A and B are shown apart, each in its own frame.
Chain A
């Protein structure tokens, strides 16, 4: 089972590399929706922690257990991979030393391209997206790193 929010608390932790050094952190997201997009329709802006934005260049995405860079997700041939609704997408964020132990304000900004709604609503940076999710508690949570 998942949490009702788009931003998942479960799975929020620092990550270690093969030498045991902390190299980043993980956060889970889900589409609070009736369907998941095909990978080429996924759109991602950032994970933000305490006002620091981590964009696609330092993130990889685990979808159905398989790791993708953002560029790989958007490859045309990856429209044949579907984001399933039964499990989160886990985002791995590269950050030497990870996040400090304690409470953090975490936000995410992601969306999908949907063929059945007008094109003007596709823009993740639109005012409408900001209006819908900018202060939405499902996309912005206080979460503790232990």
Chain B
């Protein structure tokens, strides 16, 4: 399954790139205009921060959403949301409480035109191992995902490695359930070889995944966070082996969206963020042969 209308690798942007700037000196429409400037049509939103009135946006806001998507040729790709586990002091949420959040987001994502969700799960340790009940509520959400045609995808994010046990657990779950409605968003930060821009917490190791580690996972990946920490003046990302990773994806005929996600310094600086995202898309266009 692919979120793309045509086969191949497509470019997009996550609103994460500009999150400190929204409601300060930028609107959602501004980011759509920048995306149009770059010919990057795929969009990821972080629902909680972007949707006014979340989780119950007004009809007026939704009408505006559809109008803006139409005007700027935006393809809603991925709806970023969280399945909270820590809402009460002293206990984690149970299956029913988790499922309630998830079903609401599935319906809202689908209504807004998204075909994927970045389903962020609660974690229980420093390796970001998901909460123990994830299989129970995800399994029960699968019929809703199928009905509303959205794929739930946990984000695989550093410090997780693509060969870690949790990935094997996810694959085992997908194959056991024989579902197309659960997969991964692989965040390219897992390939980072230089921690300079990451603000790595003390005691954490970099330990990057190898580009080829993505190969067995590609059938389950519907879109990726094309993470970048430092785009230099030669339009190269200095910390992630982009060319190797994307070439592997091309060689394996992967279909989907690469969604720019800037996680370097100076995120509060509009000009810096603009320069970084534009450099990123020059690089992606070159690699993709556009």
Question: Closest CB-CB distance, A140 to chain B, in whole Å?
Answer: 15
Which residues of B from 10 to 27 have beta carbons under 8 Å from A?
Answer: 15-16, 19-25
Tell whether A76 is near chain B: CB-to-CB under 8 Å.
yes
Q: How large is the interface on A (under 10, 10 to 19, 20 to 34, 35 or more residues)?
A: 20 to 34
* A82 close to B48 (CB less than 8 A): yes
Tell whether B146 is near chain A: CB-to-CB under 8 Å.
no
Fill in one digit per residue for B45-57: 1 if any A CB lies within 8 Å of its CB, else 0.
0101110111100
Complex CA–CA separation, A118 to B23 (angstroms): 29
- The main secondary structure of chain A at its interface with chain B is loop
B residues within 8 A CB of A45? Answer: none
A residues within 8 A CB of B131? Answer: 115
Complex CA–CA separation, A120 to B86 (angstroms): 13
Instruction: Tally the A-B contacts, defined by beta carbons under 8 Å.
Output: 85
* A128 close to B201 (CB less than 8 A): yes
Tell whether A96 is near chain B: CB-to-CB under 8 Å.
no
In the complex, residue of chain A having the shortest beta-carbon distance to the beta carbon of B97: A79
A residues within 8 A CB of B22? Answer: 85
* A76 close to B121 (CB less than 8 A): no
A residues within 8 A CB of B86? Answer: 41, 113-115, 119, 122
Which residues of B from 95 to 130 have beta carbons under 8 Å from A?
Answer: 120-126, 128
Stretch at the interface among A13-21, A27-35, A55-63: A27-35
Question: Closest CB-CB distance, B45 to chain A, in whole Å?
Answer: 10
Query: Of residues A79, A116, A128, which shows the largest number of chain B Cβ atoms within 10 Å of its Cβ?
Result: A116
Question: Closest CB-CB distance, A44 to chain B, in whole Å?
Answer: 15
Complex CA–CA separation, A115 to B130 (angstroms): 10
Between-chain CB contacts (< 8 Å), 12 pairs: A1-B23, A2-B24, A4-B24, A35-B46, A40-B88, A40-B89, A79-B87, A79-B88, A115-B84, A115-B121, A115-B123, A118-B128
B residues lining the A interface (CB < 8 Å): 15-16, 19-25, 46, 48-50, 52-55, 82-89, 120-126, 128, 131, 201, 268
